[in-house]
Structure 1
């Protein structure tokens, strides 16, 4: 048995033509009959680092009876020069989350995956305490189970007041050990209440992991890194997938 949570995540590789550029994380989100891949915006477009891929590739499981069977699935990022992905924006500016719709008809017929849905998002009045335990599901430094093509998880906790926009931005903080390649990973919390309606995927999708935070004045020799990360609130997906 494969834990459904692990099947929500996808390893993302970015390319410029045939040239491999970077590795990252992403996950599936379904709304009505539409299926999307969610990742960090900077994974597919990043002006400061001059990172401009024109396509991405995700790894798919293609045999429900053989978890080791997989294939790469390529998706262009532009159609006739126009971006086919959507980025989040709010009153404070750009949000480091992007979605790209997946053509379900183009997927192999035997593709095995799980997707979060609007039911996995918190309601407006739900409140979580600082210190609440979370998981970050992804591919740090591209690391994963190369035989079974599975992601790994990192434990995290909520490190800022959940529901508030940290420093006015649309994210909250997590305390977790993360690495490059984790960008775009889902940040989730286990649902323990009886009678939930989430079936065999009892996880609430709280955020999209974006980047580690650091202090510009930190002494690189004397001071350890903060170990804090940005997780953009997942409710932005209701806007991005409603277009």
Structure 2
């Protein structure tokens, strides 16, 4: 995608943040989402609650409130996007709106106090429009893949693999991936699909994205967008384990018990998690 207004960077790099839980050594990746008048931090559910799949709901949420983590995320300065300021959200506060997807997808949504400009709106704004407060941007439901079709199996993720990223600028690492199962069909009866990519610890919660030029409507017309915001295919959850772990004396930086096939939850889980957060 092209750069915009002197940022000299693909603006998709400005929608993500590291998510730290009670310190910098645990957590994952998050990205920003805007709906109605509120902005949310979206991440994988297991980043907040170390639970097996299908075990999200009131039980882990109650446990988190009893032993509350303080999560931190980072927003970029408009004057210099290399500068990222740390913000925190206390999940034990009754004033903090957050929740998991009630349908069991590994997705969580946390409302943040800051109001972030949707990336699609930023592309369309005029020079005389009011200046945005942060150089971190959000996605909206308009970027969901929906029933549209992909022209490619090549997609990408933006995340934070452990400490293998520039901790000074907080820019995410882009990983190219392949769609490994049909995204519009349930994998093993659940609202998810697989990608084929090397994803490391710390990337849970990364957005799985594709350029809008690679998407067409079901009736065959190309996606009509006046902006260059990427299309959101889903939320990366984690690697699938191998049936048998390969023998290795030194696993190195990567856990060889896991394959390069990854679980990706469809983006509609975001809306369900937000509704659960607001109603709860």
Normalised by the size of structure 1, how large is the TM-score? 0.83
Matched, 1:189 2:210: yes
Q: How far did residue 21 of structure 1 move? A: 4.8
Q: How far did residue 200 of structure 1 move? A: 3.5
Matched, 1:77 2:91: yes
Residues 47 and 239 of structure 1, relative CA distance in 2, 3 Å threshold: closer
Residues 241 and 197 of structure 1, relative CA distance in 2, 3 Å threshold: farther
Q: How far did residue 119 of structure 1 move? A: 0.5
Choose from 72, 80, 89 the match for 2:102: 89
> For each residue in 1:75-95, what CA deviation from the matched residue of structure 2 results, as whole angstroms up to 9, or x when unmatched?
111225x974211132xxx21
Matched, 1:5 2:12: yes
Residues 42 and 136 of structure 1, relative CA distance in 2, 3 Å threshold: same
Q: How far did residue 133 of structure 1 move? A: 0.8
Give the unaligned 5+ runs of structure 2. Answer: 1-6, 53-59, 117-131, 215-221, 249-255
Cα RMSD, aligned residues only: 2.8
CA distance in 1, matches of 2:226, 2:21: 32
Q: How far did residue 113 of structure 1 move? A: 0.9
Choose from 27, 52, 58 the match for 2:73: 58
Matched, 1:207 2:230: no
Normalised by the size of structure 2, how large is the TM-score? 0.73
Q: How far did residue 234 of structure 1 move? A: 0.7
> For each residue in 1:60-80, what CA deviation from the matched residue of structure 2 results, as whole angstroms up to 9, or x when unmatched?
212x23122221101111225
CA distance in 2, matches of 1:11, 1:38: 11
Q: How far did residue 32 of structure 1 move? A: 2.0
Q: How far did residue 226 of structure 1 move? A: 2.7
Mapping of 1:1-243 within 5 angstroms? 1=7, 2-15=9-22, 20-47=24-51, 54-62=69-77, 64-80=78-94, 84-90=97-103, 94-104=104-114, 110-123=133-146, 125-128=147-150, 132-192=153-213, 196-197=224-225, 199-201=227-229, 203-221=230-248, 225-242=258-275, 243=278
Q: How far did residue 219 of structure 1 move? A: 3.5
Q: How far did residue 195 of structure 1 move? A: 6.8
The worse-fitting range, judged by mean Cα deviation, of 186-195 and 111-120 is 186-195
CA distance in 2, matches of 1:155, 1:137: 9
Give the unaligned 5+ runs of structure 1. Answer: none
Maintained 8 Å contact 1:68/1:147: yes
